Structure 1
Amino acid sequence: MRCSFLSTLLLALLSLSKSSFSQVCEDQTQDSKTIVVDQSGQGQFTTVQQAIDSVPAENSIWTHILVKPGIYKEKVMIPGNKPCIVLVGNSASDTVIEWGDGGIVNQSATFTLYAENFKARNILFKNTYNEMTQRGDGSSIKPASAFQITTDKVSFYQCGFISVQDTLTDFQGRHYFDSCYIEGAVDFIWGNGQSIYKGCKINATTDILGGSPGYITAQGRDSATDNGGYIFDQCSVVGNGPIYLGRAYRQYSRVVFNKADLSNVVVPEGWDPWKYAGQEGTITYAENQCTGPGVDMSKRVEWEKTLSDEELRQLTDANIFINQDGWLQKQPF
């Protein structure tokens, strides 16, 4: 299913986001536009998609979409020709965008982003599709993304992402997650993004799998020169059932947990090579200065990497790994 997803998604990228990579947003000190979304009718629009639709094509002005508290039951998409959007809620506890679609991973996301230079703050993105599945052996669970990112220069602050399988499709581009909450059971952070997760809470809800372990990451780096990778810096891992830190979605999969707090839900082996058993030498999975009852390394897979201080710096320093051109500082508050 995922092989066909990759080819389908790449075609979608060509058609929906080819113009976005040439877009430059005006400096954040310049005049910007603000749109208010309010279900009660006190804003310009009552749905998030209506507000996005109002943004002109080839937008180059930072546009703030302020979403008032409420549960917005809608499926949202930002096309590639609408960059420079800042989506702001009140808090992830009272400002929610949710939908319930699943089964076809590249079509199920509650929120799909094709436009670069996007920022979100204080919003919860949720896919409710698997909430109605019968809890037991997990056989009825289907891919159901809460958010799908297929583009560059994207950041999230104090946001939440909730689903069961494929919660966060971190597919392509440079991304920064600060103090976010991510919940799921199977491959719930997956793709080939080049991403730093800073101070995030990772909640493994694997009780839905009936005792079988789940997987936090399925990272898809596919060559030694590929810049992709997921870096978890000072994050915490909690949950209600066993979880692997990751399994290799592609042969050069790269995931690092740095100074993370790992609860006892982390399985002793830590990592799974998946379909690359016997080819683990190209996989980069590492833990550095982690704490908590889940850090016992005595039964970890023997092919887990030990990175040098310089290798860690190259990956954990945002300015080196994802922010070489200073795009994070150019995004407005």
Structure 2
Amino acid sequence: MLVFLLRLAVSIDNNDIKDSLKQDCVIESTAVRSGAIAAHRRDSPDDDTGFSFVNCKINGTGRIYLGRAWGNYSRAIYSNCYFDNIINPAGWTDWNDPLRQKTVVFGEFQCRGTGANTTGRVPWSKKLSFEEAKPFLDMKFIDGPQWLRL
């Protein structure tokens, strides 16, 4: 298994990245106080882009959000990930734009660890079923079979 270590002092954003699949990686926050792992932007609900994290381990320092709404239709999904106790209990932030709470897609599927407790999560995030998470679980999400030779 290939393990990818990503150290974050700031969030992953999508200036040039429209789709992103992080799989079997370790994401280590280096935040002193707070931060966010993902900052995704979609301009339309018809846009099929987003960030997907599958089988990742998230640890480090600070009190971080899983994602922040950079745009009105931001999308970030975490599936089968381990969250250490660095996740802000709210989990997600609308980045000071409450209207985004109705249009973003922020979800978690079968995550575990002390930071995976969804009791304090914002009410507009989703606890996904397998059927809801399925499109984000493999390379098909980033059209991988079309451009990756494996």
TM-score w.r.t. the length of structure 2 is 0.90
The answer to whether 1:217 aligns with 2:38 is yes
The aligned residue for residue 150 of structure 1 is: none
Q: Does 1:329 align with 2:122?
A: no
Provide the residue aligned with 2:6 in structure 1: 182
Counterpart of 2:109 (choices 277, 281, 288) is 288
Match of 1:203 in 2: 28
SS in 1 for 2:133: helix
Q: Residue 313 of structure 1: SS of its match in structure 2?
A: helix
Inter-partner Cα distance in structure 2 for 1:180 and 1:324? 18
Q: CA RMSD in A?
A: 1.8
Instruction: Identify which of 250, 256, 268 aligns with 2:77.
Output: 256
Distance across 1 between alignment mates of 2:35 and 2:127: 24
The CA distance in 2 between the partners of 1:199 and 1:260, in whole Å, is: 9
Amino acid at match of 2:35: G
Residues 75-99 of structure 1 deviation map (CA, whole Å, 9 limit, x = unaligned): xxxxxxxxxxxxxxxxxxxxxxxxx
- The offset of 1:329, in angstroms, is 2.1
Q: How does 1:242-253 map onto structure 2 within 5 Å?
A: 242-253=63-74
Which structure is richer in relative contact order (CA contacts within 8 A, separation 6 or more)? 2
Structure 1 stretches of 4+ with a deviation exceeding 3 A read none
Deviation at 1:324, TM superposition (A): 5.9
In the other structure, the counterpart of 2:88 is 267
For 1:328 and 1:285, how far apart are their aligned partners in 2?
Answer: 27
The residue correspondences of 1:1-333 to structure 2 (distance < 5 A) are 179-187=3-11, 189-191=12-14, 192-207=17-32, 211=33, 213-319=34-140, 321-323=141-143, 325-329=145-149
Identify the structure with the greater strand proportion. 2
Identity %: 35
Task: Report the residue type matching 2:128 in the other structure.
Answer: L
2-side partners of 1:275 and 1:193: how far apart? 23
Count, aligned residues: 148
Q: CA shift at 1:265, angstroms?
A: 0.6
Cα deviation digits, residues 176-226 of structure 1 (max 9, x gap):
xxx311112222x1115211110111111012xxx3x11111111221111
User: Which letter does structure 2 place at the counterpart of 1:186?
Assistant: V
- Structure 2: state its 5+ residue gaps: none
